[in-house]
A and B are shown apart, each in its own frame.
Chain A
Amino acid sequence: MLFTDSLFIFGLILLFFVYFLIPQKYRWMLLLAASIAFYAYSGWTNLLYIGATAVTTFFVTKRIEKMAAAAKDAVSAHKSEWSRDEKKTFKEAEKKKRRRWLILLLVFNFGMLAVIKYGAFTMNNLNGIIGWFGERGTLPVPNFLLPMGISFYLFQTMGYAIDVYREKYPCEKNFARLALFVSFFPQLIQGPISRYDDLAKGLYAGNGFDAERVQLGVQRILWGYFKKVALADRILPAVTLLISDPEQYQGMYALLGMLYYTLQLYADFTGGIDITIGIGQVLGIPVTENFQRPFFSKNITEYWRRWHITLGTWFKDYLFYPVSVAQPMLKLSKWSREKLGKNIGKYLPVYVSTIAVWFVTGLWHGAAWNFIVWGLLNAVIILISERCTPLYNKFHKKCAWSNSRPYDGFMAIRTTLMMGCLRMFDCYRDVPLTFKMFGTMFTKWNVQIFADGSLMKLKLTGADYGVLIAGTLILFTASMLGRKGSVRKRVWERSRVLSCCLTVVLLLTVLIFGAYGIGYDSSQFIYNQF
C-alpha cells in the first residue's frame, strides 16, 4: 500500500479519530491492529516473515536477559568465596553463552534476509563464475518476493536485540508491545530505523489530543505529500525516459537525468519520512529525524551524517565499531605497527572497517554490483577526504576567503553534484554503462538541447517545469528558514490563525499541484525497494 493511496489516507484519518476517542490504555493496541492490517494488505505471506522476526527476537532477548540476571545473582552469591580471577572467568563464560544466543538470532534473521534478498544475486554470480571455467551455470536461482520494508524493520529489531544483549535497557516482556515496535506501520515503507529507547515510550504512552502537536503533525504530513506528489512523482516520467534509452540520452541528457534524479530521490525519500514523522507527531509518538538538510553539507562525510541518519548511525554502532574493535582487527593493527610502521598500524583498522561498512551499505541498498560499487566509491572518497584533512586545514588557514558563505555554498553544490553522480548507479542497468554515461557528460557536448526545445520532449510540459522550479525554490527557502528551528512551530507561536492558514495553503498546494490527471499512478517510494 502506498502513502498516496486513497485507502491509506482514508484509513489514516479514521485512525486519528478513533485513536483519540478510545481510552488511553487501548491506543497502542489500535496501532498494532492498524500495523498488522497495513502489512497484511501488502500480502498475507509477508506477515510470516515479520512475525518470525518478532517471535524469535521476543524469546531470545528474554532468554538473554534471564541469563544475565542469573549470572549476576551467581556472582553475588559467591562474592566472598570466589577470587577476582574466578569471577572474571565466570562472567566471561556467561557472556559467551549469551553471545551465542544473540548470534543465533542474528544469523536466523539476517540469514532470512540474505536468502530472500541476495539469493538470486549470489546464485547468478556463482553461475557466472562456473561459466568462466567453461561449464554452463546450472545452480538454481531462487525467486523470492521481497517482503515490504524488510531491510528497515529487520535492522530496527536486530538493533534492539543487540542493545538488550549489551544491557543498554531491559527487554520488552509483552509480546504484543514488542510486535508493535517491530511493525509500527508508518515506518514500514522506508524507515527511519528507530531505536527502541527513542520510539517505545511514545508508542505505548497513548498520548491524548494536543492541538499544537496535531496541527504541526498535519502540516508535516502535507509537506511530505507536497514533496512526493508535486515534485517526485512529477519529475518521475522524465527520469524514467532519460535512463530508459542510454543510446539516445547521452551527454547533457545524462547530466539532466542525474540532476532530475537527485531532485526526485530527495523529494521522494524526505517526503516519505516527513509523512512518517508527521503521523507520529499527530499520535504523540516522536519518530527520529532522518535528515538534516543534507545538501548543505560541505563534504561527503558530512553529507552522510545528514542523509538517512538512522541507517548511518545503525551501521556505526552495530557494525563499524564492533568490527573496528574486534580482536582480529586489533591484532591486524599490532601486526601492521610492527611490520609497516606506526602510522599505518594506527589507521589500518579504521580504513578496513570503513571499506567493510560501505560494502555492506551498498549491499543493503540492493543485490546488484551497481550498489556494491556505489558503496565502495563512497568509501574511497571518504578515505581520501580523511587523508587530505590536514591539507584542507592548511588551505583554510592560508586562504581567508575559503571561510566565507559563498565558498560554503560552492562546497555544498560540489557535494550535491558528487552525490548526484554517485547516485547514477541507481539508474543504469550495470556498472560499465553507468561509467559510460558518466563519461558522456564530459565528452558529448550537446548543449543545444537546453535551447532548441528538447527539454519539452522529456514528458514534461512548461507547466511541469514551472511547478518543479517553484517547488525546488520552496524546498531551498524552507531549508534556509529551518536552520533556526522548525518553521511550523515558529508560525504556530506567532499566531494560531496564521498556522491554520498555513495548513490550508499546504493542503491546497498538494491538491492543485500534485501530479494527478489521466493515467496518473503514484509510484512506490524509491527507498521501499532497498
Chain B
Amino acid sequence: MDEIRETIIGILQDLHEDVDFENETRLIDGKILDSFDIVTLISELSNEFDVTIPADKIVPENFNSADALANMIAELEDE
C-alpha cells in the first residue's frame, strides 16, 4: 500500500510540483486538481498500475488525497 501511495505522490508531483501531496486532503474540494489534471492522472495511474478506473469512480472522495487514491487503486487491483 505504501508503495502505491509513493508512486501516486510521484505522479501528482509531476502535475503540480508546489503542492504538499503528502498531507493535502482537499485536492478536489480545494480545487487544486481540475478536470484536466484528473484525466491526466487517470491516464498515468492506468498505465502505472494496469487498472481500469471507470467514470463512476471519479468522485471527490476517491481523489481528495493521495491516501484516497491509493485506497481506490488497491480496491481496483483486488477486484
Q: Which of B34, B36, B53 contacts A325 (CB 8 A)?
A: B53
Q: Which of A321, A333, A334 contacts B55 (CB 8 A)?
A: A321
**Which single residue of chain A is at the shortest CB-CB distance from B44?**
A346
Asked if B30 CB lies within 8 Å of chain A CBs, one says no
Q: Are A325 and B47 in contact, with the CB atoms below 8 A?
A: no
State how many angstroms separate the Cβ of B16 from the closest Cβ of chain A.
Answer: 10
Asked if B3 CB lies within 8 Å of chain A CBs, one says no
Q: Are A353 and B56 in contact, with the CB atoms below 8 A?
A: no
**Which single residue of chain B is at the shortest CB-CB distance from A348?**
B43
Q: Are A330 and B43 in contact, with the CB atoms below 8 A?
A: yes
From known contacts A316-B35, A350-B36, A386-B36, infer whether A322 and B43 are also in contact, taking CB-CB under 8 Å: no
Q: Are A321 and B58 in contact, with the CB atoms below 8 A?
A: yes
Asked if B79 CB lies within 8 Å of chain A CBs, one says yes
Q: Are A349 and B43 in contact, with the CB atoms below 8 A?
A: yes
Q: Name B's interface SS.
A: helix
> How many A-B pairs with Cβ below 8 Å?
53
Q: Are A349 and B39 in contact, with the CB atoms below 8 A?
A: yes
Cα-based distance from A449 to B47 in the complex (angstroms): 60
From known contacts A88-B79, A324-B42, A346-B40, infer whether A337 and B47 are also in contact, taking CB-CB under 8 Å: yes
Interface string of B24-59 (1 = CB under 8 A from A): 000000000011101110111011000011111010
Cα-based distance from A322 to B79 in the complex (angstroms): 20
Q: A residues within 8 A CB of B53?
A: 325
Asked if A303 CB lies within 8 Å of chain B CBs, one says no
**Which single residue of chain B is at the shortest CB-CB distance from A337?**
B47
| Most chain A CB neighbours (cut-off 10 Å) among B35, B47, B79 | B35
Asked if A327 CB lies within 8 Å of chain B CBs, one says yes
Cα-based distance from A322 to B57 in the complex (angstroms): 10
State how many angstroms separate the Cβ of B50 from the closest Cβ of chain A.
Answer: 10
**Which single residue of chain B is at the shortest CB-CB distance from A92?**
B79
Asked if A320 CB lies within 8 Å of chain B CBs, one says yes
Q: Which of B35, B36, B40, B46 contacts A330 (CB 8 A)?
A: B46
Q: Are A333 and B47 in contact, with the CB atoms below 8 A?
A: yes
Q: Are A350 and B40 in contact, with the CB atoms below 8 A?
A: yes
Q: B residues within 8 A CB of A301?
A: 34
Cα-based distance from A337 to B47 in the complex (angstroms): 10
From known contacts A321-B58, A325-B54, A325-B58, infer whether A350 and B39 are also in contact, taking CB-CB under 8 Å: yes
**Which single residue of chain A is at the shortest CB-CB distance from B59?**
A168
Q: Are A333 and B43 in contact, with the CB atoms below 8 A?
A: yes
Asked if A347 CB lies within 8 Å of chain B CBs, one says yes
Asked if A72 CB lies within 8 Å of chain B CBs, one says no
Cα-based distance from A349 to B34 in the complex (angstroms): 15
Cα-based distance from A105 to B43 in the complex (angstroms): 29
Q: A residues within 8 A CB of B56?
A: 166-168
Cα-based distance from A163 to B40 in the complex (angstroms): 24
| Most chain B CB neighbours (cut-off 10 Å) among A337, A349, A350 | A350
Q: Are A322 and B55 in contact, with the CB atoms below 8 A?
A: yes
State how many angstroms separate the Cβ of A141 from the closest Cβ of chain B.
Answer: 36
Q: In chain A between 326 and 365, which residues have their CB closer than 8 angstroms to a CB of chain B?
A: 327, 330, 333-334, 337, 345-347, 349-350, 353-354
Beyond A168-B56, A321-B39, 8 extra complex contacts between A and B, CB < 8 Å: A317-B55, A324-B39, A325-B42, A325-B54, A327-B52, A333-B47, A334-B47, A346-B40
Q: A residues within 8 A CB of B52?
A: 325, 327, 330
Q: A residues within 8 A CB of B42?
A: 324-325
Q: B residues within 8 A CB of A321?
A: 35, 38-39, 55, 58
Cα-based distance from A203 to B43 in the complex (angstroms): 39
Cα-based distance from A322 to B35 in the complex (angstroms): 12
Cα-based distance from A325 to B35 in the complex (angstroms): 12
Q: B residues within 8 A CB of A330?
A: 43, 46-47, 52
Cα-based distance from A347 to B39 in the complex (angstroms): 9
State how many angstroms separate the Cβ of A82 from the closest Cβ of chain B.
Answer: 14
Cα-based distance from A310 to B4 in the complex (angstroms): 35
Q: In chain B between 49 and 79, which residues have their CB closer than 8 angstroms to a CB of chain A?
A: 52-56, 58, 79
The 10 closest A-B pairs by CB, nearest first: A166-B56, A322-B55, A324-B39, A350-B39, A321-B55, A333-B43, A321-B58, A349-B43, A350-B36, A325-B42
Q: B residues within 8 A CB of A322?
A: 55
State how many angstroms separate the Cβ of A341 from the closest Cβ of chain B.
Answer: 14
| Most chain A CB neighbours (cut-off 10 Å) among B39, B42, B58, B79 | B39
